[in-house]
Amino acid sequence: MTTKLKKTAALGMALASAVFAAPAAAEELSYAHYVSSVHVLATHGIGPFFERVTEDTDGEITWTAYWGGAMGEPKELLGAIGDGIVDSAGVVDVYLKSQLPSSVALSSLFVVADDVLAFGAAMNEYQLLHCPSCIEDYKGHNIVPLAWYSTSPYLLMCTSEVASLDQLAGKKVRAASRMGTLMQSMGGTPVSVTSAEMYEAMQRGTVDCSVGAAAWLTGYNIKDFVTHVVEDPLGAYIGAMIMDMNADVWADLSEEHRQAILDNLPKLVADTIWAYNSEADDAIKQSLAGGTKLVPAADDFRMKLEEIRSVEWEAAIEQAESDGVENAREMIEGFRETVDKWRGIVKEIGDDKEAFEAALEREIFSKYEPSL
């Protein structure tokens, strides 16, 4: 072979190698949630997260989001992910007790969740690193769990003045899981209505009050009906999964693409929690400007709340055991230890979001290796 032919052959082989070594085709992933596209979760949490992952993968991963229940309401999205209708979605375990019993056993601790940073971080750490039964629950539905967030503190928001036990007695209250138990113990009548159905329920008078994050006043526009908000926090919901992936889709992603998603989870969690708290403050201000009254709880209301909180950890264990959760005591006590660990971390870092992100990465996400 002449030198010229050898050079031509070498060039051809180099070009062929370049073709085979080219980056994989772009992956367009789908995400669904029942909240609207203008909800704080979308604008400050998931939206920026998508942008960062796309940038970190040089455009090889892009996302299409379906908001407002376009792909299913809260009770339907778990199945939508597992069945591959969407690649990922928001999952609210409180509506899925029979499917996610271990996760629900932890998130049912609404009433004692007095620090949304500590509890939010602990939920991520415990479920991802210390709770095999939690992982198995999701694995059984063909889902890889990735991240949770905690809402801002839950408040009692009503269409009439409610600040005492007498005023609460007989009121129909939209409340889920242990919050429903709390309201019943305080004399209210819990009503099973999802947050997505809440506006219509208050509009029609199906419920008189709702227990939830203050951000719901504007996020779901229930400020249209709420006249009084009790300012004493009742706890917080800590079991909202903001990111996950269909297990088959996750396995098909390259290692680099999976790592890009994992690397951006700490900021996703922190951004969402901070935005929720900020939105809560703004929602209260808007509602007050519109005539809503922020009222302190009466003494009997506060005393009853503290009475229930004093036994809530043990009550959660008993409930989990009756629901058939194996090793319920060990699991919930382990979660409590994780919360205490994060109380210490949060006490050190204070209200520093970047420090919180760094702690999430150091203590949780750098250690998490989803099984394939």
End-to-end CA distance of the chain: 49
CATH for 28-151+238-285+313-365 is: 3.40.190.170
State the fold for domain 155-235+293-307: D-Maltodextrin-Binding Protein; domain 2 (3.40.190)
Which tokens belong to 225? 């009906």
Looking at residue 52, its pLDDT comes to: 98
Q: What's the CA gap between 162 and 179, in Å, rounded?
A: 16
Query: 179: closest CA among 209, 218, 137?
Result: 209
Note whether 28-151+238-285+313-365 and 155-235+293-307 share their fold. Answer: yes
Q: Which pLDDT belongs to residue 6?
A: 38
Q: Give the pLDDT score at 372.
A: 73
Give pTM, 2 decimals: 0.87
Instruction: Give me the residues paired with residue 157 across strands.
Output: 210, 229
CB count within 10 Å of CB 14 equals 10
- Which tokens belong to 14? 């180099």
Q: 236 forms bridges with which residues in the sheet?
A: none
Least Cα distance to 31 among 64, 68, 62, 53 occurs for 64
Q: How far is Cα 74 from Cα 196, in angstroms, rounded to an integer? A: 8
pLDDT in single tens digits along all 372 residues of the chain = 443 333 344 334 333 333 333 345 589 999 999 999 988 899 999 999 999 999 999 999 999 999 999 999 999 999 999 999 999 999 999 889 999 999 999 999 989 999 999 999 999 999 999 999 999 999 999 999 999 999 999 999 999 999 999 999 999 999 988 889 899 999 999 998 888 899 999 999 999 999 999 989 988 899 999 999 999 999 999 999 999 999 999 999 999 999 999 999 999 999 999 999 999 999 999 999 999 999 999 999 999 999 999 999 999 999 999 999 999 999 999 999 999 999 999 999 999 999 999 999 999 999 999 987
* Domain extents in the chain: 28-151+238-285+313-365, 155-235+293-307
Q: How buried is 321 (Cβ within 10 angstroms: 0-12 exposed, 13-18 middle, 19+ buried)?
A: middle
